[in-house]
Amino acid sequence: MKWIRNTLLITALSLSPLIAAKAQSNQEVKTISVSDFTYADFVDITLMSPIIASVEVTRAKKLSAKLAPDLQEGKTRFYIEAKVSSLIRGADGLAGNISYLLDVPNDEKGHAKRIPEKTRFLIFGQPVSGHPDQIMLTRPDSNLDWDPKSEAVVSGITREILSNSPAPQITSITSAFYVPGSVPGESETQIFLQTISKQPISLNILRRPQEKPQWAVALGEMTDEAATPPAPNSLLWYRLACGLPRNIPQSVLSTLSAHDMIAVADDYKVVLAGLGACSRNHHFK
């Protein structure tokens, strides 16, 4: 009996940083499929998570109610031990074997679901101070069923975020101007954006007679003749599609003539239509 008590004490002590973090965050985490994740969902959770990895479960231990006092009814808390298959993001590295807490909904009969060994997850987390082999999951939807396509998408997003010149976060539209062309139906509109990094971005919309309007995004002070629209499902696309307002602020339009105001507003609609919707099925922010 003494050996058993000592074993339980050691287990409780090893879990204590994770349990404390869990109680503080008060978030119930579940394992979910990635089938309903949009590109924007993946970018949102990637931006929030300093640690991202694919892992393989080596042990999933159910915790007693005593070790999970804040657990939501209808769920079971597991202490997950896992082998890191690939580290996608982690500036300080990550131990080869890690542990974390995971709250999983019970089945329809109220029984705890089983998490078999070698189950693979794609996890998004935060470090636990002083415990390099432990992580705390970032959000309730940040322990995902693994598949190669999702890992490839997240790896690509991470590379863009950590690149030397990542697409910056847009904060506002600062100004716009409209220039008519030399023939009827020809015109050019430029719309200037403010970013957190102060990097200049402009939207350029060109109209020619009997042609569809063409638009592009330029990164830099000067208009780039080779500029194009952002590639779909890229970080720049995300920054624009998810960061631009649905309408140009009146403070920007009020500086234009009545004719130019209408033209710029119409050209801005061309940009929004070209980008498409920023679809989200999960709300991480």
Distance CA 48, CA 25 (A): 15
Res 145 pLDDT > 90? yes
Q: Is 263 helix (H, G, I), strand (E, B) or coil?
A: helix
Are residues 226 and 269 part of one domain? yes
Are residues 194 and 140 part of one domain? no
Are residues 152 and 24 part of one domain? yes
Residues 143-171 have a mean pLDDT of 96
Please tell me the total count of domains within the chain: 2
11 assigned to some structural domain = no
pLDDT for the residue 13: 46
Contacts for 118 with CB less than 8 Å, ≥ 6 apart: 56, 57
pLDDT for the residue 17: 67
pLDDT digit string (tens) for 256-268? 999 999 999 999 9
Distance CA 101, CA 125 (A): 11
CATH at 138: 2.40.50.120
2 assigned to some structural domain = no
Instruction: Give the residue numbers spanning the domain of 205.
Output: 170-275
Are residues 202 and 154 part of one domain? no
This prediction has a pTM of 0.86
pLDDT for the residue 29: 38
pLDDT for the residue 65: 85
pLDDT digit string (tens) for 197-213? 999 999 999 999 999 99
Res 3 pLDDT > 70? no
pLDDT for the residue 227: 85
Res 66 pLDDT > 80? yes
260 vs 135, 170, 208, 251, 263, CA distance in Å? 54, 24, 17, 14, 5
The answer to whether 185 and 206 are in contact (CB under 8 A) is no
